[in-house]
Amino acid sequence: NIVRSAFTGGLLGWLYGGVPAFRSARRDFIERSHGELFQGRVDALQSAQQAGLRSFIRYGWRWSWRVATFVAIFNTVSTGLSVYRNKTTVSNFAAAGAFTGALFRMHLGLQGLVSGSVFGTAFGIPAGGFLIVMQKAAGETLQEKRTREQRERYEQELAAWQSRLNVTEVLGQTESNAEEGPHVEEVARE
């Protein structure tokens, strides 16, 4: 889930950074290129699209890795807290947001650290509330899902163990029958 959400965050970050950069670069190229000579309308449009695409890739990448990293750290911390505390609450998301925001603004000193944690908390509370509401609307919270998966895994392991035990019992009976066979013949001869 953490990898999937980080990937989705990266895609959304790429769109968030890339689409406005594409539009801006294309508009700037058109405004700057009035004096240039092109082979035709198609060549001019292609050049404008290439300028926009370069900007989309450059600025989209800048936003993409930042958003993906933020989402991955946020989800790792909130999931870790939920597993450790064995319950999912909004305070887990608030703490994850504070930690992630502080981590991202740590390079700005103490003031950046504090403002990052405040921003992260302000981001984490509504995000956590939204995720909890979505889980309840889906009919199964993450805690219930973890408990169900653990129970299913335990039942599968128990069934596998019992089947191995049955095979061992069958082999034991086969061996005891094989050992009794020659012994019975010797007694009959005597």
- pLDDT, tens only, 46-72: 777 788 888 888 888 888 888 899 889
pLDDT in tens, 9-21: 888 988 888 888 8
- pLDDT (tens digit, 9 = 90+) per residue, 82-114? 888 888 888 899 999 999 999 888 888 899 889
Q: d(Cα 81, Cα 102) in Å, to the nearest integer? A: 17
Contact 97, 122 (CB under 8 A): yes
Q: Which helix (H) or strand (E) holds 155?
A: helix 142-189
pLDDT of 187 higher than 50:
no
| Nearest residue to 100 via CA among 81, 79, 75, 83 | 75
User: How is residue 10 written in tokens?
Assistant: 């990266």
C-alpha to C-alpha distance for 13 and 20, rounded to whole angstroms? 12
Asked whether the whole model's pTM tops 0.85, one would answer no
* Full DSSP string of 115-140: HHHHHHHHHHHHHHHHHHHHHHHHT-
Cβ atoms of 29 and 51 within 8 Å: the answer is yes
Percentage of the chain with pLDDT > 90?
Answer: 16
